[in-house]
Chains A and B, each alone.
Chain A
C-alpha cells in the first residue's frame, strides 16, 4: 500500500477576491521507506505541497490519501493527532523554543501525545543524533548544526512514519549540513520515510528520488542516478 497517494492535487489562495493558483493537478505516490526530494525554485509551490502533505494545510481540490485513507474527511483535531504521531518536522530555521533546554525541546511533541516515559524517549532520540552530552544546555548555548540535530530528535521522538525536512541545511555551514544529511540518510536506512524540500541540487542528490516542481506543475519525477552518500565522523552518530 502507498504511504502517500496524491491525485490531481490543486491549491488556490484567495486574497482580496483575487485567486492565485499555486499547485495544478499534481499526482504522485510515495511508498514507505522512500527518500524523496521535492525540488524547485522559490515560488514553485514546493513548500505549499509539503504543508499539504504534512497536514498543516488542506488542498483546494484533488485527492490526498495517507495510509490508504482520504484526508478530506479528517477534522482539525484528527489532523493535529496525525501531525503529532505520524509525521515529524525539521525546519530551515530550527524553530526551537527559546529559554528552554535541549531535553525539554525534544519532549515538546510528547506533551501532546498519549505516550509515557517522556524523559526516556527524548533521551533516546537525542542519543540517535549524537547529542546525549547536551541534554541540559539551553538552545542559545549550542551551535546551528546542533540546533538542527535537536530539531531532528524532536521530529523523531514520537516515532513518526514520515519526516518532512524543509530546507534543513539552508541555514547551516557545509560541514554541519553534511552531518544533518548523514543523519537523515541513516534514518532512511533504518526504514523511515523522508521527504526533503530543497532548491539545491547537491542536497537533493542525497535522496533516492527527485520530484521537480515549477510554477505549480510537476515537471519531472525520477530516481537519483548517482546518489551522494554523506560521510561524517563515525563516532558522532551511533
Chain B
C-alpha cells in the first residue's frame, strides 16, 4: 500500500467523522495555541521591560544611600543621610573616576503643583544640569536649566509634557515664563516655592510605573533644601563612557566614596552601587524563567490533548474492528494497518497544530493591539522557534499517542475481527 492511497484513505475516514475529528483535535488546538500565545506574550513582556530599562539610558550606574541588604532594598522610612554634595564633586574628578561622562545627583518627592486655580498632585525630581546627558529625551519647548541656573539655585522648573498640559492647556497660555508654586507633600511651607517654567520635555512614556511625563524637574538645591528641606542626596547616577568600563567605574566609585566617608571595612559601607546591566540581566532571567514555566504549563495541556487523541484512537480502533478484519482478509499487511492508524493520529494532531498556530498568532496579535491601545510599548513577537516547537510537538504527540492504538489494530486477529459485533 503506497503513501498516496494511505493519505486518501485516512482523509476519507476523517471526513466521514467530521464532528468527532474536530472535537478530537480541540485539545491539540488549545495546547498549541497556548504555547504560541504564552511564548509571544512572554517575549513581548520581556521586550517591554528591557525597553523601559534602556529608556532610562544605557551604561548607567546608580549610587544609593544605604547599604544593600541581601534580603531586599533598604528599609523604607529609614532616612539615610550619608550621600552629600561633596560626594558628587569627588566623583566629578576625572582623576578619580576617569570613565564617568556625567555625574548627576538627585532627590525625589511628591508635591502639589499650582498655577492660578489649576492644581495637580505629582512627583518631582531635584537634579543637576547634566541630567539630560544621562537619559534619552528631547525638549518640546524651551530648554533644560543651565549650569549657571543649577549652581546659582535659580527658581526655575522644567515640566513633563502631561503635567504641562494639565496645568496650561485649559487656558491656552504658553507655559514658558509662567510661575508655578510647588509644595512638598511632607514639608509644610506656606504657599509653596514659586518656580518659573523654562522648558517642557517631549512625551517619553512610563518607566517602571512612574509616568515621567507627569513629573517636574528643578535644580538640586531647590528640590532638596527649599522643597524637601533636607541637606543630603537620595541618589547619584553616573553615566559611563562605554559598557566595557562599567566594572572599572564601579570599583572607582566605591573607592572614592569609601575615602569620602572614611570607611575602612567593607562591612561598614553606607552606600550601594547598582548596575543597570545587572538589572537587565536579572529581569531577563526572571522573564525567561516565567516564560519557561508558562510554556511548561502549555506543554502539559498539549499532552492532555495527546491523551484525548489516544482515547479517540482507541475508540476508533474498537469501532472499526470488523473493517480492520476485512482489510486484512483482502490483503492488508499488519504494517499497512498500523501505518493507516498512525497516519490518522498524526494527521489529526498536525491539523490541530496548524489551527492552533493560526489561533495563537491571531490571539497574540489581538493582545498586542489591546496592550498598545492601553499605552504600553508592546511588541508583537511570534518566534519561528515557537511555531516549529508547537508543530513538532503536536506531530510527535500524534505519533506517540497513536502508536499504541495503531499497534493494537495491526495485531488484531482477522478472524476474530471479522466476527466482532
* Residues in chain B near residue A77, CB distance under 8 A: 333-335
Residue of B nearest to A94 (CB): B326
Q: Complex: how many Å from CA A9 to CA B401? A: 42
Q: How far is the CA of A77 from the CA of B5 in the complex (A)?
A: 19
Contact stretch, chosen from A82-90, A208-216, A230-238: A82-90
Given known contacts A51-B415, A57-B415, is B330 in contact with A84 (CB within 8 Å)? yes
Flag A98-120 by CB within 8 Å of B: 1 or 0 each.
01100000001101110000000
Bound state CA distance, A25 and B333, in angstroms?
Answer: 30
Instruction: Determine if B314 is an interface residue (Cβ-Cβ < 8 Å).
Output: no
Q: Which residues of A contact B418 (CB under 8 A)?
A: 91, 95
- B16 within 8 A of partner (CB): yes
Q: Is A142 an interface residue (CB 8 A)?
A: no
Choose among A51, A80, A81, A85 the residue with the greatest number of B CB atoms under 10 Å from its CB.
A80
User: What chain B residues lie within 8 Å of A81 (beta carbons)?
Assistant: 331, 333
- Check: A154 CB closer than 8 A to any chain B CB: yes
- Taken together as a complex, chains A and B put the C-alpha atoms of A51 and B415 apart, in Å, by 8
Which of B1, B326, B327, B328 has the largest number of chain A CB atoms within 10 A? B326
- In this assembly, does B329 line the interface, its C-beta being within 8 Å of a C-beta of chain A? yes
B414 within 8 A of A: yes
Contact with B along A153-183 (1 / 0, CB 8 A): 0100010000000000000000000000000
* A203 to B322 alpha-carbon distance, docked (Å): 26
CA distance A175 to B414 in the complex (A): 31
Q: A229 interface residue, CB < 8 Å from B?
A: no
- Total A residues in contact with B, Cβ cutoff 8 Å: 24
* Residue A202 interfacial (CB < 8 Å): no
Given known contacts A97-B323, A99-B16, is B415 in contact with A83 (CB within 8 Å)?
Answer: no
What is the bound-complex CA distance between A211 and B409, given in angstroms?
A: 35
Chain B contributes a number of interface residues (CB within 8 A of A) equal to 22
Q: Mark B258-281, 1 if CB is under 8 A from A, else 0.
A: 000000000000000000000000
Give the chain B neighbours of A89 by CB distance below 8 A: 329-330
Residue pair B334, A76 in contact (C-beta under 8 Å): yes
Query: Which residues of chain B from 301 to 337 have a CB within 8 Å of any chain A CB?
Result: 322-323, 325-336
Residues of A within 8 A of B328 (CB): 56, 80, 83
Closest partner residue, chain B, to A155 (CB atom): B330
Beta-carbon nearest neighbor of B9 in chain A: A111
Report the minimal beta-carbon distance from A42 to chain B, rounded to whole angstroms: 13
Q: A91-B418, A95-B418, A112-B1 are in contact. Are A158 and B334 (CB under 8 A)?
A: no
Measured between C-beta atoms, what is the minimum distance from A105 to chain B in Å? 10
Q: Cβ of B331 and Cβ of A158 under 8 Å apart?
A: yes
| A56-B331 in contact given A95-B326, A97-B326, A112-B1 (Cβ < 8 Å) | no
Closest to A77 in B: B333
CB distance from B79 to the nearest CB of A (A): 82
B327 touches A108 (CB 8 A): yes
Contact residues of B between 6 and 32, Cβ < 8 Å to A: 9, 12, 16
Which of B9, B16, B328 has the most chain A CB within a 10 Å cutoff? Answer: B328
- CB pair A56 B9 closer than 8 Å: no
Q: Which of B329-359 contact A (CB under 8 A)?
A: 329-336
Q: Nearest-CB distance from A83 to chain B (Å)?
A: 5
CA distance A81 to B322 in the complex (A): 20
| B181 CB, nearest partner CB in chain A, Å | 84
Q: Judging by beta carbons under 8 Å apart, are A112 and B415 in contact?
A: no
Q: How far is the CA of A51 from the CA of B329 in the complex (A)?
A: 10
Given known contacts A56-B415, A57-B415, A99-B16, A112 and B331 CB-to-CB distance under 8 angstroms: yes
Contact of B1 among A54, A76, A97, A111 (CB under 8 A): A111
- The CA of A57 and the CA of B336, in the complex, are separated in Å by 19
Q: In the complex, A45→B5 CA distance in Å? A: 37
Q: Is A109 in contact with B330, judged by CB distance below 8 angstroms?
A: yes
A-facing mask of B196-240, CB < 8 A → 1, else 0?
Answer: 000000000000000000000000000000000000000000000
Cα(A168)–Cα(B148), bound, Å: 112
**Residue with the greatest number of chain B CB neighbours at <10 A, chosen from A84, A97, A112, A158:** A112
Q: Is B329 a contact partner of A83 (Cβ separation < 8 A)? A: yes
- Which residues of chain A come closer than 8 Å to B5, judged between CB atoms? 111
Q: Show 27 A/B contacts (Cβ-Cβ < 8 Å), sorted by A.
A: A51-B415, A56-B415, A57-B415, A76-B333, A77-B334, A77-B335, A80-B332, A80-B333, A81-B331, A83-B328, A83-B330, A83-B331, A84-B332, A89-B329, A89-B330, A91-B418, A95-B326, A95-B329, A97-B323, A99-B16, A108-B326, A111-B9, A112-B327, A112-B336, A113-B331, A154-B330, A158-B331
Q: Top 9 closest A-B pairs, CB basis?
A: A84-B331, A109-B330, A112-B331, A80-B333, A99-B16, A95-B326, A83-B331, A112-B332, A111-B5
A residues touching B (Cβ–Cβ < 8 Å)? 51, 54, 56-57, 76-77, 80-81, 83-85, 89, 91, 95, 97, 99-100, 108-109, 111-113, 154, 158
